[in-house]
């Protein structure tokens, strides 16, 4: 803890600079969207350089003292009313969600929730959802669509729970169905990766109009450990895998996978909850203001186009 406290003092000093960097990143991404440019032109944007090595970022993203979904909800929204259950099987504690008031308007908010205490970690299954969690999330998003409220999703999970019960109740189907339904949801969706974005379990609540990412979050098709185990047959190569998989916010912004990086205080989000939340709130407001100008039809068409052009291939 001493180390963290020491970092705080320097973190405050650094923060203004970080905020400015964050704003600049955002403007770049917005300009690109408005120009309607194809994937290639993102190369014109100045490269975003990560401040830490890939493995350091993995550690920061998984830091147990980092703010979690409910922390952000409490810091940037008011009047949160949590809603439970998938109306089919049970309430999955690994995903939380409900109604809240954001910047003076009612919104639907949901996200993966890790636990802080041992008891809570177990109750929330370390943020690894069963299919019921994804179905609860979709139920809430459908409510948002029905009553024309914007949706905010917080991504923070090692992945979908890899157990036989979860498989038997249809993890794959639940994720697939969320991808399909989110792609056509007629209301603005803004997602943010706040910690670990673990593969399909993360994407299941991440098909959004804007995908934001905290500076020290990661988003990956497979965990660095899993990748190392499969490709090198050696889990100790995880740091190497983390680097090569290009899972940091900087890499993903440069690749055009995420739209904007939300700056964290020096040393990481856990050093100063309020400041991180304030940065995120500003990004939410800016993006939501832009999205609200679009008709539901245009919104869905632009979302389709956004995902349609992701991919790098050669054509002869």
Partner 1 sequence: MAWFKNLQNTLKLNTEKKKGIPDGVWLKCKSCSEIIYRKELLKNSQVCPHCSYHFPLSADEWVDIMFDEGTFKEWDKHLQAADPLKFVDSEKYKDRLKRAQTKTGRADGVVTGSGQLNGHSVVIAIFDFGFMGGSLGSVSGEKILRAVEMAIEKRFPLIIISASGGARMQEGMFSLMQMAKTSAAIAKLGEHRLPYISILSNPTTGGVTASFASLGDINIAEPKALIALTGPRVIEKTIRETVPEGAQCAESLLKNGFIDKIVDRREMKKTISKLLEFFQE
Where do contacts with partner 1 occur on this chain (CB under 8 A)? 160, 162-164, 166-173, 175-177, 179-181, 183-184, 199-200, 203-204, 206-207, 219-222, 226-227, 229-232, 241, 244-247, 252, 255, 257, 303-304, 307-308, 310-316
For residue 202, the minimal CB distance to partner 1 (Å) is: 8
- Give the residue among 209, 205, 215, 204 at the shortest CA–CA distance from 190: 209
For residue 34, the minimal CB distance to partner 1 (Å) is: 21
Of the pair 1, 164, the CB lying nearest partner 1 is at: 164
Could you tell me the two tokens for 99?
């109604």
Of the pair 243, 282, the CB lying nearest partner 1 is at: 243
Task: Answer for the pair 92, 86: CB distance below 8 angstroms, yes or no.
Answer: yes
Of the pair 173, 274, the CB lying nearest partner 1 is at: 173
Burial letters 150-186, b for 16+ CB under 10 A, else e? bbbbbbbbbbbbeeeebeebbbeebbebbbeebeebe
For residue 230, with 0-12 CB atoms within 10 Å meaning exposed, 13-18 middle and 19 or more buried, which class applies?
exposed
Do β-strands 260-262 and 218-220 pair in parallel, antiparallel, or remain unpaired? unpaired
Cα dihedral sign, 298-253-183-197: negative
For residue 183, the minimal CB distance to partner 1 (Å) is: 4
Of the pair 6, 230, the CB lying nearest partner 1 is at: 230
Of the pair 18, 212, the CB lying nearest partner 1 is at: 212
For residue 72, the minimal CB distance to partner 1 (Å) is: 23
For residue 111, the minimal CB distance to partner 1 (Å) is: 18
């Amino acid at each position: 803890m001493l180390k963290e406290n020491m970092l705080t003092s320097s973190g405050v000093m650094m923060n203004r600079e970080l905020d400015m960097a964050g704003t600049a990143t955002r403007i770049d991404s917005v300009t690109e969207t408005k120009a309607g440019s194809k994937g290639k032109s993102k190369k014109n944007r100045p490269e975003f350089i990560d401040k830490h090595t890939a493995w350091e970022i993995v550690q920061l993203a998984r830091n147990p003292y980092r703010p979690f979904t409910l922390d952000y909800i409490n810091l940037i929204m008011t009047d949160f009313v949590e809603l439970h259950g998938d109306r089919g099987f049970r309430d999955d504690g690994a995903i939380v969600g409900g109604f809240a008031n954001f910047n003076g308007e009612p919104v639907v908010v949901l996200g993966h929730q890790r636990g802080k205490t041992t008891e809570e970690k177990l109750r929330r299954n370390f943020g690894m959802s069963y299919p019921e969690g994804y179905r609860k999330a979709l139920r809430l998003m459908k409510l948002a669509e029905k009553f024309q409220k914007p949706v905010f999703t917080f991504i923070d999970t090692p992945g979908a729970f890899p157990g036989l019960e979860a498989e038997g109740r249809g993890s794959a189907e639940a994720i697939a169905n969320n991808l399909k339904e989110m792609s056509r949801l007629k209301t603005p969706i803004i997602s943010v990766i706040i910690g670990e974005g673990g593969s399909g379990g993360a994407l299941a609540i991440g098909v959004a109009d804007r995908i934001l990412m905290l500076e020290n979050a990661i988003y990956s098709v497979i965990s660095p450990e899993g990748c190392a185990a499969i490709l090198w047959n050696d889990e100790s190569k995880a740091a190497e895998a983390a680097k090569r998989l290009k899972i940091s916010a900087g890499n993903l912004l440069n690749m055009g996978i995420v739209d904007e990086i939300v700056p964290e205080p020096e040393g990481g989000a856990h050093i100063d909850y309020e400041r991180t939340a304030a940065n995120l709130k500003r990004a939410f407001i800016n993006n939501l203001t832009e999205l609200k100008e679009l008709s539901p039809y245009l919104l869905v068409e632009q979302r389709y186009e956004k995902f349609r052009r992701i991919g790098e291939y050669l054509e002869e």
